[in-house]
């Protein structure tokens, strides 16, 4: 392991406060080759796939990475923009907006950086920006409102893997969740209100969160509970009756049971029940495709 030295460092340098925003990540291009690199890094994370490493290695490299990259590339091509991946461009815009806010409201040098758990710019690159800026205090903010080991926990792992190679460790604060923060709840409620003021109200509102395997929940992951609390608080802000809203989960992978009810199954059932309009909000993503 290499310890970073800073031979050009001067001890009179003014210390900086750093903020590292973390998002999941994105491939560099909507191509099968780029998706293979991205998915290879993502799905190799033991936080994401809690299986014996030897078995998962054969499944990942023998099956998934031979089939899934081509299919995923077609999906990314549908949402790719001239500026690149929406997740990356939105995250960059958020980072730049936060820099303007801290510059206007706080005294002393502050630097905001962005790092992706998988792909580019990496968490290591974001932390290096802060190190070069002489950040002696760093706030780590994963853009995941609800905690899950597969996302938030994995971000913590990546940060500590980098910091263990720094000679002079900064003071670090890690925000693990903000699922019930009043400002977050108000922002969601106001977004919904503004939309309904123009488009009218639906028969039902679905809060659709990214799913995780049910066994993660049974093992103690708080994600399921925090998703429900977020939805419950927003519904209360909107003064919605219980029958007017529901929590569902999307994007399951593989054959095992994930958190239920599933978004697609629920939509089918609501259609058969005669509902004419259903609105969906995804409160688990601060920036997404």
Residues 87 and 137 in one domain: yes
Residue 203 lies in a domain: yes
132 and 253 both lie in a single domain: no
In a domain, 276, yes or no: yes
- Do 109 and 44 lie in one domain? The reply is yes
Q: Could you tell me if residue 139 is inside a domain?
A: yes
Amino acid 289: pLDDT: 61
- Portion of the chain with pLDDT greater than 90, in percent: 90
**One domain, residues 78 and 128:** yes
55 and 100 housed in the same domain: yes
Give the mean model confidence (pLDDT) for residues 108-137. Answer: 96
Q: 9 lies in a domain?
A: no
CATH number of domain containing 271: 3.40.50.1400
In angstroms, the CA 244 to CA 240 distance is: 6
Residue ending a domain, choose from 114, 139, 174:
174
Residues 206 and 158 in one domain: no
Q: Is residue 232 part of a domain?
A: yes
Output phi, psi for 57, to 5 deg.
-60, -45
- Structurally, the chain folds into a number of domains equal to 2
Mind listing the pLDDT tens digit for each residue in 11-62? 666 789 999 999 999 999 999 999 999 999 999 999 999 889 999 999 999 9
pLDDT of residue 14: 78
Which domain does 274 fall in, by range? 182-281
Does residue 132 belong to any structural domain of this protein?
A: yes
Q: Is residue 152 predicted with pLDDT exceeding 60?
A: yes
The answer to whether residue 4 sits within a structural domain is no
Which has the closest alpha carbon to 147: 284, 48, 282, 288? Answer: 284
Among 174, 199, 220, the domain boundary falls at 174
Residue 283's nearest CA partner among 203, 202, 189, 195 is 189
- 81 lies in the same domain as 155: yes
* Residue 46 DSSP symbol: T
Determine contact, residues 245/231, Cβ cutoff 8 Å. yes
Same domain, 162 and 238: no
Q: What is the pTM of this model?
A: 0.92
């Amino acid at each position: 392991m290499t310890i970073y030295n800073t031979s050009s460092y001067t001890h009179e340098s003014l210390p900086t406060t750093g903020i590292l925003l973390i998002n999941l990540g994105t491939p560099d291009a909507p191509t099968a080759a780029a998706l293979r690199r991205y998915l290879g890094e993502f799905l190799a994370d033991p936080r994401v796939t809690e299986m014996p490493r030897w078995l998962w290695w054969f499944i990942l490299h023998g099956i998934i990475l031979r089939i899934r990259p081509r299919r995923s590339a077609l999906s990314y091509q549908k949402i790719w923009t001239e500026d690149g991946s929406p997740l990356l461009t939105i995250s960059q815009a958020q980072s730049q907006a936060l820099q303007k806010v801290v510059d206007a409201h706080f005294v002393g040098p502050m630097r905001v950086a962005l790092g992706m758990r998988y792909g580019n710019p990496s968490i290591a690159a974001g932390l290096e920006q802060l190190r070069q800026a002489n950040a002696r205090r760093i706030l780590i903010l994963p853009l995941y409102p609800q905690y899950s080991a597969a996302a938030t926990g994995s971000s913590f792992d990546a940060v500590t893997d980098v910091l263990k190679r720094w000679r002079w460790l900064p003071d670090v604060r890690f925000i693990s969740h903000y699922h019930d923060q009043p400002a977050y709840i108000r922002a969601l409620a106001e977004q919904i209100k503004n939309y309904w003021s123009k488009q009218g109200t639906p028969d039902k509102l679905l809060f659709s969160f990214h799913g995780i395997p049910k066994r993660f929940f049974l093992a103690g992951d708080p994600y399921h509970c925090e998703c429900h609390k977020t939805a419950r608080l927003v519904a209360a802000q909107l003064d919605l009756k219980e029958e007017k809203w529901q929590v569902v989960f999307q994007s399951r992978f593989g054959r095992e049971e994930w958190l239920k009810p599933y978004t697609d199954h629920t939509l089918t059932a609501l259609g058969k029940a005669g509902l004419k309009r259903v609105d969906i909000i995804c409160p688990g993503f601060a920036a997404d495709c």
